[in-house]
Structure 1
Amino acid sequence: MEEFMKNMFQRQKDEKLERYRRLNRQVVKGQILFTGSSLMEQFPINEIAMTQSIDKIIYNRGIGGYTIPEMLGAMDEQIFDLEPGKIFINIGTNDLSREDETLEMLIVDYRSVLSGISKRLPETRVYLMAYYPVNISVASKQPWPDADKAARLRFERLEKANSAVKELAEEFGYEYIDVNKGLTDETGQTREEFSVDGIHMWPDAYEIVFENMKKYIME
């Protein structure tokens, strides 16, 4: 059963990549791009923008379950095919949930993503988003195994990981955005009412994230 679920999940990721490949044939170049893993894929950015009457073309190319190495293998579909004028990136949260992943490995992989963007899209404005918090208590109530363990591991690594991403932004002359203001409780975890499963967030949480990054979208 475990192998079956793993294969099914991989198939879903492959299908999303093919869907993006086909969608990219029709994109308007030079627009705004949101890219990353599930926490970006689930960002209802276009609905929020429409509700606020924001006249911007924003493409979302997040793929649930993706790690940074997987993004490195999908840079055309997730980034380059769109030739965006602005890129907002949230990638690496799945890497942080793996015990065998080190901060040094994450930095090396993330730097490779940014190096590729810098070379292929030198005029593009790039924004690196802070990793979101988690809620360990909500994660512990989930039916899938080791949910609380993954959330705890990510929470323990969050501060150092965000500092590393901020340093990478400075290294490449990009912008780091702390999008988490208003999301957390007194312990620094995601407020329970915003947390779906301890990791992912409800749409009203993304409305707060949007307000924290709105000026960068609008400028």
Structure 2
Amino acid sequence: MSDTSLPHAMGNTPLPTLPSPEPDAIRLIQAMLDQRPLPADLQARLADTAAMAERREREAVQRLNDWPALARYRAANAAVRNPDVVMIGDSITEIWQIAMPEMFGGAIVNRGIAGQTSPQILLRFMADVVDLRPRRVHILCGTNDIAGNTGPTVPEDYQRNVRAMADLAMRNGIEPLLASIPPASAIFWQPDARPLEWIPHLNDWLRTFCATRSLRYVDYHAALTDGAGALQERFSADGVHVTRSAYRVMARLLAEACADGSASARPAGSGSPSTG
């Protein structure tokens, strides 16, 4: 499957910038953020088989032509320099801007893309983080690795990808803030996934990695869990994505991490941070 209107060899013309979430997707997200029922017209469109097939086709063409989605933020990146924080990750990060638009602007830049796994995020890390010259980068990913969104994986691959992102950041004078993977007892689009096993395992690794590198670890999991590994009911509509109230808790934890002596976490010799 391919789109013959697009070139498939190296050239000087980049792929067109990908659009933001479609209006129906934003309406769905807004309902989930507030744990409201979906409007009837939206339910009907989401269930329409022809529309579903068209969405799958678009997604397949996008993956073929731009697997890491380097084109998604190309135009936006050209207008950004020296923010305080770039937040990179998957849907939890992307939806954060819809949940709390007032939080984002010149100082905090959102570079989340729904559905992405750590190898995709790593591939766009230079374009979407390093080239923007932020003071800090907030890295939050892992749920989609556990789900196998881009194919079967092993924990060591996730760990290498996160380690590579942290190393890229530090070598370029950017302080990494590594976030825990939020709780989930099941992943609704992948019934075979085992988040209750793998989320604690990967979060333990993230915590240890941060301790050995003197990096900041932002523990959203502890604040959002019901104690049994799932999200608290008030914090999620589907067991994976979080509500507006959860984002407010996460925003407080992030602000504390940024304010709590974060400059001391910068390793010696990593270069001078850019200021926003």
Q: TM-score range by the shorter chain?
A: 0.7 to 0.9
Structure 2: which 5+ runs fail to align?
1-48, 261-276
User: After superposition, what is the alpha-carbon deviation per residue over 1:145-172, rounded to whole angstroms, capped at 9, x for unaligned?
Assistant: x3x433xx12211111001112222343
TM-superposed deviation, 1:190: 0.1
1:48–1:207 CA contact under 8 A, matched in 2: no
Equivalent residue, structure 2, for 1:211:
252
Equivalent residue, structure 1, for 2:201:
160
Equivalent residue, structure 2, for 1:84:
134
Structure 1: which 5+ runs fail to align?
none
Cα distance in 2 between the residues matched to 1:169 and 1:8? 38
Q: 1:187 is paired with a residue of what secondary structure?
A: coil
Cα distance in 2 between the residues matched to 1:171 and 1:11? 41
TM-superposed deviation, 1:135: 4.2
Determine if the alignment matches structure 1 residue 111 to structure 2 residue 152: no
2:216–2:257 CA contact under 8 A, matched in 1: no
Question: Using a 3 Å threshold, how does the CA distance of structure 1 residues 48 and 10 change in structure 2: closer, same or farther?
Answer: farther
What letter corresponds to residue 61 of structure 1 in structure 2? R
TM-superposed deviation, 1:95: 0.8
Structure with the higher helix share, 1 or 2: 1
What letter corresponds to residue 74 of structure 2 in structure 1? R
Equivalent residue, structure 1, for 2:103:
49
Determine if the alignment matches structure 1 residue 101 to structure 2 residue 128: no
Question: Using a 3 Å threshold, how does the CA distance of structure 1 residues 46 and 29 change in structure 2: closer, same or farther?
Answer: farther
Query: Could you state the TM-score of these two structures normalised by the residue count of structure 1?
Result: 0.79
1:89–1:127 CA contact under 8 A, matched in 2: yes
2:220 alignment partner, one of 176, 179, 182: 179
Larger Rg: 2
2:69–2:124 CA contact under 8 A, matched in 1: no
What letter corresponds to residue 161 of structure 2 in structure 1? D
1:31–1:85 CA contact under 8 A, matched in 2: yes
Cα distance in 2 between the residues matched to 1:205 and 1:10? 32
2:140–2:180 CA contact under 8 A, matched in 1: yes
Question: Using a 3 Å threshold, how does the CA distance of structure 1 residues 49 and 160 change in structure 2: closer, same or farther?
Answer: same
Determine if the alignment matches structure 1 residue 29 to structure 2 residue 82: yes
TM-superposed deviation, 1:203: 1.6
Equivalent residue, structure 2, for 1:39:
92
Count how many residue pairs are aligned between Structure 1 and Structure 2: 204
What letter corresponds to residue 175 of structure 1 in structure 2? R
What letter corresponds to residue 169 of structure 1 in structure 2? C
Percent pairwise identity: 25
Query: Could you state the TM-score of these two structures normalised by the residue count of structure 2?
Result: 0.64
